[in-house]
Amino acid sequence: MPDRTDRIEKTIVLTGASSGFGRGAAVELARRGARVVLAARRADLLDEIVREIELERGTALAAPTDVSRPDEVVRLAERALEAFGRFDVWINNVGVGALGYFWDIPTEVHARVVDVNVKGVIYGAHAALAHFRERGEGTIVNTGSVDSETPIALQNTYAATKAAVLSLGRSLNEELRLANHHDIKVATIMPWAVDTPFWTHAANYTGRTPRMAAMDDAQLVVDAIVRACVSPKETIPVGAKAKGSRLSHRLFPDATERLSANLARRERDKGDRAEPTHGAVFEPIAAGRGVDGGVRERMAREDR
């Protein structure tokens, strides 16, 4: 397994690169020598990250993309090929969330979460595989969640989409095996709740500021994404809490789901009051530009 000093001489397409562990992975991969093609809706932030990478003598290309639009995803692949002649890794990292009881979340918000989190991954994987099957090698890294295997209350449709991401990855690995594409791999990253701008960008109908217990630091997931680019595994639970939740759900599924639901509700009740919001589900917002989301700091203030 590579350590944090190994060079990665690959061309990598990375969606969801404008903030959170997408942004962190973009900078880290470029620091290690990768040529990164950065996709997200916020073009200004992509340009900012490209400048940051170029100041460190890295190579990056900004490619503003809405992954829910198949034509834009195809164009993203074309831009990578035009700029670098190939790509070796495609990271499907975009994800939007909607928090609250299922019946309190408008149906159009549920639909948009599916459009981005499931269809966006399908479009990205399809574009990547068209190139990888032609070359005979390549890696797809999909960002799932602990929700992929352990559904959590108040994250209903989001959890369902992350289960779909994991299922798609497993199916693709078997199809690639059947088709003798043994050098093409699909990995699914499965983190616990992470302190990133995700919580600022999520649609929120809980009546409280979004939060979750014992959030992990984004660097933990950044490191897992970087490792997956050179050492992909079908499922990659990230951190002790994700691994523990996964094991618990396999042994005691009903009890684990109930405990997770109770935890989600208790954490919600600790938050400050908040008005309903669509967040960044339909349109990008200015807030939430870094890797860290500042959620743990806010939670500490709320808990005083």
Active-site amino acid positions: 158
Beta-ladder partners of 142: 92, 188
Alpha-carbon gap, residue 159 to 150, rounded angstroms: 8
Task: Read off the tokens for 162.
Answer: 């992350």
User: If you search the block for the tokens 């834009």, which residue do you land on?
Assistant: 72
Alpha-carbon gap, residue 236 to 65, rounded angstroms: 26
CA 257, chain centre distance (Å):
22
Task: Read off the tokens for 251.
Answer: 């042994």
Alpha-carbon gap, residue 73 to 63, rounded angstroms: 10
Exposed/middle/buried for 210, CB within 10 Å: 0-12, 13-18, 19+?
buried
Q: Count the alpha carbons within 13 Å of 231 in the hemisphere toward its beta carbon.
A: 9
